[in-house]
Amino acid sequence: GVGGGMELLQFSYFNREKGGVIGIDVVDEMLEASRKNFIEAETQNPWFKSEFVDLRKGDALNLPVEDNSIDVAAQNCLFNIFKEADLKKAIAEMYRVLKPHGRLVMSDPTCEQPMNNNLRNDERLRALCLSGSLPINEYVKMLTDAGFGTIEIRARKPYRILSPKDYDTNELIYIESIEVAAIKDPMPADGPCVFTGKAAIYFGENDFFDDNAGHILLKNQPLAICDKTAGALAKLNRDDIFISKSTYHYDGGGCC
C-alpha cells in the first residue's frame, strides 16, 4: 500500500504532472491519511500539488490500472508479504500494467541460508518483512518466470541477523537487502539477461576484442556484462580476457 504517501511525494517531485503518479492501497484509512499529508505537503513544498497523485483503492493481486500503461512501478517487501501463489499473481499484475521496456523497481530482503517452516510462518518476521526472504537466484527466477527479460541487481547490503536467542533457529540466519530493477524487455531466445555486477576486461595485443555476438571489448576498458555473456566469454578459454565476480552493484551501460 501507499502508507502515508511519502514515496508518492518523492515520485511526484520527478514527474510533476496531473495524475502522473498512481498510489494504490486497500485500506481506506491509509488513502485518507495520504490525502491529508498531501494537503500539508502543498503548504511546505511550492512545487507540489495534490493533483499530481491519483490515489486508487485496490490491491496488488488486482491492480486498478490499465494494461501497458505504466513507465515505472515500485514496491518494497512484496516478496515478504505473500505466499508463493499470491506472489506470482502480484508479479504478473506488475508485469501486466507496465509498458514495454517499463521497469519494476524493488527492494527486498534475501537470504542464502535455508529458513525452516517455523521462521517462514512467524508472524513477527512477516510483520518485519523477513519471513519470505529467498536466495537471490530464486528471487530472480520468480521475476523472469513472469516474463521480465532483463534483471538488474543494483545493490546488495547486510540487513538483519536472526539469532537462536530470539527466534526458532539452531543457527544464526544472515539476511541481506537487495535493490532490483526488473525490466519488461522481450525475453531473449537464449534466456533472460541478468546483471549481477560482473565486468569483462580485454587485455590482449589488439585495440579491441569482438566476440562476433554483439560484444566489443575495448583494450583495458571494463564492460559491464550480464551473467549469460560472462558464461559465454568464459567458454572461449582466452588468456587475455578477465571476468570479474558478481559485485551485485550494477549501474547501467551493460552489454545487452
Pairwise CA distance, residues 203 & 239, whole Å: 9
Residue 71, all three cell numbers:
513507465
The secondary element (H helix, E strand) that includes residue 123 is helix 123-127
pLDDT, residue 91, reads 95
pLDDT, residue 14, reads 94
pLDDT band at 46 (very low <50, low <70, confident <90, very high): very high
pLDDT, residue 80, reads 80
Residue that has been written with the C-alpha cell 552489454 in this structure: 255
User: C-alpha distances in angstroms, 1 versus 26, 63, 84, 100, 227?
Assistant: 7, 11, 19, 24, 33
pTM of the model: 0.92
pLDDT, residue 54, reads 97
Convert 76-106 to b/e letters by CB count within 10 Å (16 or more is b).
bbbbbbbeeeebeebbebbbbbbeeebbbbb
Pairwise CA distance, residues 93 & 60, whole Å: 7
For residue 34, which phi and psi values (nearest 5 degrees)?
-65, -45
User: C-alpha distances in angstroms, 141 versus 104, 128, 200, 221?
Assistant: 15, 23, 24, 31
> Which is it for strands 198-202 and 150-162: parallel, antiparallel or unpaired?
unpaired
Which residues is 218 bridged to in the sheet?
A: 208
Segment 135-162 shows an average pLDDT of 96
pLDDT, residue 12, reads 96
Pairwise CA distance, residues 102 & 73, whole Å: 8
Segment 31-52 shows an average pLDDT of 96
Q: Indicate if the pLDDT at residue 133 is higher than 70.
A: yes
pLDDT, residue 83, reads 82
Q: Indicate if the pLDDT at residue 111 is higher than 90.
A: yes
DSSP 26-45: S-HHHHHHHHHHHHHHHHH-
> What would the pLDDT profile of 10-40 be if each residue is shown by its tens digit?
999 999 999 999 999 999 999 999 999 999 9
Segment 191-217 shows an average pLDDT of 95
**Which residues have C-beta within 8 Å of that of residue 216, sequence separation ≥ 6?**
208, 209, 210
Segment 211-217 shows an average pLDDT of 93
- Please, what is the end-to-end C-alpha distance for the chain in angstroms? 33
pLDDT, residue 152, reads 97
pLDDT band at 79 (very low <50, low <70, confident <90, very high): confident
Pairwise CA distance, residues 119 & 182, whole Å: 28
Segment 76-85 shows an average pLDDT of 82
Q: Indicate if the pLDDT at residue 251 is higher than 80.
A: yes
**Which residues have C-beta within 8 Å of that of residue 141, sequence separation ≥ 6?**
none
Segment 159-179 shows an average pLDDT of 95
> Which is it for strands 98-110 and 70-76: parallel, antiparallel or unpaired?
parallel
pLDDT, residue 167, reads 94
pLDDT, residue 84, reads 86
> What would the pLDDT profile of 180-192 be if each residue is shown by its tens digit?
999 999 999 999 9
pLDDT, residue 256, reads 66
Pairwise CA distance, residues 35 & 30, whole Å: 9
